[in-house]
Amino acid sequence: MVDALMNSVQRFQGDTVAGSDAAARSRSADSDEALRAVAQEFEALFIKQMLSSMRETLDSGSDMLHGGMSQDIFEDMLYDEYSKVMAKTGDLGIASLIYDQLQ
């Protein structure tokens, strides 16, 4: 997944050919927006890995759904959404650092 994100970033970095000034500005704005989105996705992926590692340290005796596959699926989806929300708030700042570095 990280390779796919890096390929997307490289594709957006290389997108600088323009036919006119207006088209160049439009394309530049689109690629900046796409680069921000990819950086935010990368931050969400990082946060999800962090939350998954934290989840492994929890006591299994206090499980909400008493363990099993249903709990694993639910928790994975829950932490996926948590990571997306946390990345959108920008509190960690990883996405902005990546964007600034690649811009």
Helix axes 21-55, 94-102, angle to 10 degrees: 140
pLDDT tens string 50-83: 998 988 887 776 666 677 788 888 888 999 999 9
Q: For residue 90, what are the domain limits? A: 2-102
Closest CA to 18 of 7, 8, 29: 29
Distance, in Å, from the CA atom of 43 to the CA atom of 98, rounded to the nearest integer, reads 9
Count of structural domains, the chain? 1
pLDDT of residue 67: 72
pLDDT tens string 21-48: 555 566 677 888 999 999 999 999 999 9
